Amino acid sequence: MGKSGGEQGDGEHTDRAHADGGGEAAAGVTRRRALWIGGGSVVAAGAAAFAARDELARWWWRLPGNDKPRAAGEVDFRGARWVAASPANYRRADRPADYPIDRVVIHVVQGSFATALRVFQDPDHEAAAHYVVRKDGYLAQTIRELDVAFHSGNRGYNERSIGIEHEGFVDRPESFTTAMYASSARLTAAICRRYGFPADREHIVGHVEVPGTDHTDPGPHWDWDSYLRLVRAELRRTARATEGPPERNA
């Protein structure tokens, strides 16, 4: 009962406030709220325009006749040697504008480094990976990362991934040398960093794990734990190099 009486008394004070100019204060609040809403609309419109511009940029590279700039013999990973695959073994694209990249697929040649390069240059082979790693760590790039390599046997995976071949045989553990692991890990770390996906077993997979494949590579002797440790260590190293040395107190 006392609460009800108090509410009635508060109503009287509210009426007086309006009579003394409180209505103007309320109007001011209303104007400020309108300005806030208007400002929010401007921000939202700006964000929408930015998103639309970004989407337009993506669609631009999907239109026939529009290709991202390319230079003959250019590589995506410093230190790799360019050895062009046959155009029959990949599809020209403008990734990641047309197809986002979020996978690395690990392959083993079942043969030599030279064999991989030779078959990738053969138009009848109908398959090739972006990179080939030799036992001593030497790297060749055969297809630009922009383009869709026919390497996994799965169209969706081809469009979203980078394929890395490794010299050797799945049933010979001596195929996988320290130099090969180190070189391949540096390459994979650079790909993870470039396209912004994590270095884990969801995003770095073996050919055997691609849906629908009949391949078994990289096989039981590929040391996934050591490989991922190397990739992550490389990512940490490059992150520290980018950040630079810590500041010293004066």
With a CB cutoff of 8 Å and minimum separation 6, the contacts of 181 are: 223, 226, 227, 230
Beta carbons within 10 angstroms of residue 119's beta carbon? 18
* 21 confidence band (pLDDT: 50, 70, 90): very low
Residue 111 is classified by DSSP as: B
pLDDT at 233 over 90: yes
Residue 170 is classified by DSSP as: T
What is the model's pLDDT at position 241? 78
* 67 confidence band (pLDDT: 50, 70, 90): confident
* 72 confidence band (pLDDT: 50, 70, 90): confident
* 70 confidence band (pLDDT: 50, 70, 90): confident
Name the residue with tokens 């639309």: 52
Pick the most confident of 8-17, 37-46, 114-123, 238-247: 114-123
pTM of the model: 0.73
Q: What b/e sequence results for 70-107 when a residue is b if at least 16 CB atoms lie within 10 Å of its CB, and e otherwise?
A: eeeeebbbeebeebbbbeebbeebbbbbbbebbbbbbb
* 56 confidence band (pLDDT: 50, 70, 90): low
Q: Decide which of 209 and 4 is more confident.
A: 209
Q: Which two tokens stand for residue 238?
A: 């490059």
What is the model's pLDDT at position 205? 98
Q: What is the average pLDDT across 31-47?
A: 47
Query: How does pLDDT run across 180-208, given as a tens digit for each residue?
Result: 999 999 999 999 999 999 999 999 999 99
Of the ranges 16-30, 87-101, 107-121, 195-209, which one carries the lowest mean pLDDT score?
16-30
What is the model's pLDDT at position 23? 42
Secondary structure (DSSP) of 87-99: GGGEE---TTTSS
What is the model's pLDDT at position 55? 54
Burial class of residue 45 in the structure, from the number of CB atoms within 10 Å of its CB (0-12 exposed, 13-18 middle, 19+ buried) = exposed
Q: Decide which of 166 and 42 is more confident.
A: 166
Name the residue with tokens 């869709």: 148
